A and B are shown apart, each in its own frame.
Chain A
Amino acid sequence: GAVVSQHPSRVICKSGTSVKIECRSLDFQATTMFWYRQFPKKSLMLMATSNEGSKATYEQGVEKDKFLINHASLTLSTLTVTSAHPEDSSFYICSARPDLFPYEQYFGPGTRLTVT
């Protein structure tokens, strides 16, 4: 089946620093990927839609200068949390939509970010 990986799985960073999270589709090409944020015991909230070769589309209320998204290739999207603060601590999950099967989304295992 289609596999999506995320790296790192866990990261701890100090307040004010930036951290990059990678999302890769391992066995399929994905022009479109999605970034979600999941708060403890809460549902997933879509943050942005990442499109290869163009700017990401951010959901209302998500700061695009805070959460930088780069979709550099058909198999890789990155989310950079800039100048992180403790309130950015969360579980970040990406998903990828296969170009050959655009009605599906496959989710990565998530990245736990803790900002101290």
Chain B
Amino acid sequence: GNSVTQMEGPVTLSEEAFLTINCTYTATGYPSLFWYVQYPGEGLQLLLKATKADDKGSNKGFEATYRKETTSFHLEKGSVQVSDSAVYFCALSDDSSASKIIFGSGTRLSIRP
């Protein structure tokens, strides 16, 4: 079945460091791919998405490229801030109506000042 695997956390970085959180997926067909962020005590927010191969999603300095050949959707940011501390979830939706989203296990990110 469809699944999402993302790197185990926690990840701790210093402010202004480069961030990569790896995510790979298994799916039939052509899923849409997402990154969600969960700040402490809050619900999930959509960070970025890509709906087809080679698409790049971007938001708030974060980027991820839909790589069909490697079945990956790694999240990157060139210079992290303390306010980026949160839990990040990679996810996929395996149909065009987004009726079922499958989440990865989440990666907790902590940024030191």
Residues of A within 8 A of B (CB): 4, 6, 32, 34, 41-44, 46, 49, 93, 95, 97, 102-110
Contacts and interface: CB of A to CB of B under 8 A. Distances in A.
Interface in B45-89: 45-46, 89
Interface size class of B (residues with CB under 8 A): 20 to 34
Nearest to A110: B43
A102 B98 contact: yes
Given A44-B89, A97-B98, A102-B97, A107 B103 contact: no
B44 A104 contact: no
B98 A103 contact: yes
Contacts of A105: 46, 98, 101
Contacts of B89: 43-44
A107 B99 contact: no
A41 B87 CA distance: 9
Contacts of A46: 100-102
